[in-house]
Amino acid sequence: MDFTQHQLGPGVRLYLCETDKFKTLTCKAFIQQDLKAREAASTALVPLLLRRGSQRFPTTRDIARELEELYAADFGSDVLKIGERQILEFHFRMVDPALLPKGEELLRRGLEAFWEIASRPHGNGRFFEPYFEQEKEILLQELEGLVNDKRAYALVRCTALMCGEEPFGIYKYGDPETVRSLANQEVYDHYRKLLNDYPLDIFVVGSRTEQAAEALAGLVQGREAQVVLNAPQRVEAGEPRYFEEAMDVQQAVLVMGYRTQITYPDEDYYALLVANGILGGFAHSKLFINVRERASLAYYVGSSIEGSKGLLTISAGISGDDQAQAVEIIQEQVRDMQEGRISDQELEQTKRGLISSMNSMNDSASALIDRNLIGVVHDELRTIAGVVEAISAVTLEGVVRAMEKVQLDTTYILRSSSQKGAGHGTD
């Protein structure tokens, strides 16, 4: 299923996918900006502030009551990072109006609520001060709370260490020191600029997209200019670096960060996608088979790529005692691929798996929208059929060529300082 594209004004694009397949209508809006420390922290506060209240719905409670009246309509906002862009996302979902009493009316009311909450926060020329103060604290807690999920924490730490000198090293929610220094007016002014001056892309999937388009066009009119954004920085891998962090954990988390030099606009992008699949994207992948099934070292182990910046990341939950062995097996898998030790079966299964997951996106409104984000960032949307074709065309030579560009940059491990010889795994 594909989207039709409509230009609503300078820097505002609307994409519609008309279908009666789903029981819901889904709408997402994305505003993107270059990733910078101060703006990142500022923007990360916005979703927290928006959910506190708007002009018409001044408290969280008022917002929630309106959404409940709309039969479980759902408004959400978050901040994402794709390459060296930070994206402010608003999403809205409600039951397909065709399934509701007075559906048409509810659809209009729902979209009005959506844009009201997203664009008219409670306050006068700035955010309501008590909300601002409290949400700043909440964001700080969120940043400190990253450590609570050891796997996510290890991935973020490895990226920060690896790209410390590049915009990509900035965490999507900013850093505590910058957040502490933010003032209400500054955050509000930046938020207004984001709403008015930065590229805005809106996607709608559902059965009443024409009415939705009409309502949205009225809501977003009046935007003025369009800021021009930068392309991500490309960096060569230097000498491999190693970092160890000690924490009182049961399980060690190993993360290995590679530079790929291949991004979405590049010819070898889909070859890299297939390469990552063969290496660690599936349960039939080399990492899963060799680290988990053959050596019994891990429960989870896998790899993923960041296709806008050009990174490949491998992570595994292991016993700290097995670190050397795990690293050795992982590097052997990467080397095997670089030297072409890939069976036809591995290649074919992986291509089939990727094609299948591409096609499966037709079955989820959210996936249909989210898959376009990287295209939005690179200003080149691709259809599912086009991607399937590109994956089908990937050859063994292409995979090897892509893997040859992949270079280890940073190895990071989060582990207990007393792991060796203590507690588990010694017998």
Binders of other proteins among 38-67, rule CB under 8 A?
A: 59-61, 63-65, 67
**Cβ-proximal residues to 260 (8 Å cutoff; 6+ apart), any chain:** 272, 305, 310, 311, 312, 402, 405, 406
> Phi/psi of residue 204, each to 5°?
-130, 130
Q: Does 23 bind other proteins (CB under 8 A)?
A: yes
Q: What is the C-alpha separation between 303 and 362, in angstroms, rounded? A: 24
Give the nearer residue to other proteins in terms of CB position, either 68 or 397: 68
Q: CB of residue 177 vs other proteins: minimum separation in angstroms?
A: 16
The binder of other proteins chosen from 226, 290, 331, 362 (CB under 8 A): 362
Q: What is the C-alpha separation between 162 and 166, in angstroms, rounded? A: 9
By the 8 A CB rule, do 85 and 377 touch? yes
Q: Which amino acid is at 97?
A: P
Q: CB of residue 417 vs other proteins: minimum separation in angstroms?
A: 7
Give the nearer residue to other proteins in terms of CB position, either 61 or 234: 61
Site for other proteins in 263-302 (CB under 8 A): 282-284, 288-289, 292-293, 296-300
Q: What is the C-alpha separation between 26 and 95, in angstroms, rounded? A: 9
Q: CB of residue 308 vs other proteins: minimum separation in angstroms?
A: 25
> Phi/psi of residue 42, each to 5°?
-55, -50
- Tokens encoding 131: 């909300």
Q: Which amino acid is at 156?
A: V
By the 8 A CB rule, do 305 and 273 touch? yes
Give the nearer residue to other proteins in terms of CB position, either 318 or 403: 318
Site for other proteins in 123-162 (CB under 8 A): 134, 137-138, 141, 144-151
Site for other proteins in 372-411 (CB under 8 A): none
Residues near other proteins (CB under 8 A), total: 75
Q: CB of residue 227 vs other proteins: minimum separation in angstroms?
A: 31
Q: CB of residue 8 vs other proteins: minimum separation in angstroms?
A: 27
Specify the stretch interacting with other proteins by CB under 8 A; choose among 8-16, 256-264, 311-319, 402-410: 311-319
Q: Does 210 bind other proteins (CB under 8 A)?
A: no
Q: CB of residue 306 vs other proteins: minimum separation in angstroms?
A: 22
Give the nearer residue to other proteins in terms of CB position, either 348 or 379: 348
User: Angle, to 10 degrees, between the axis of helix 269-276 and the axis of helix 344-360?
Assistant: 110
Give the contact letters, 231-250, x = binds to other proteins (CB under 8 A), - = no. --------------xxxxxx
The binder of other proteins chosen from 36, 38, 71, 227 (CB under 8 A): 71
Q: What is the C-alpha separation between 74 and 68, in angstroms, rounded? A: 9
Closest CA to 106 of 71, 131, 78: 71
DSSP state of 293: I
The binder of other proteins chosen from 72, 183, 225, 393 (CB under 8 A): 72
By the 8 A CB rule, do 87 and 81 touch? yes
Site for other proteins in 335-354 (CB under 8 A): 345, 348-350, 352-353
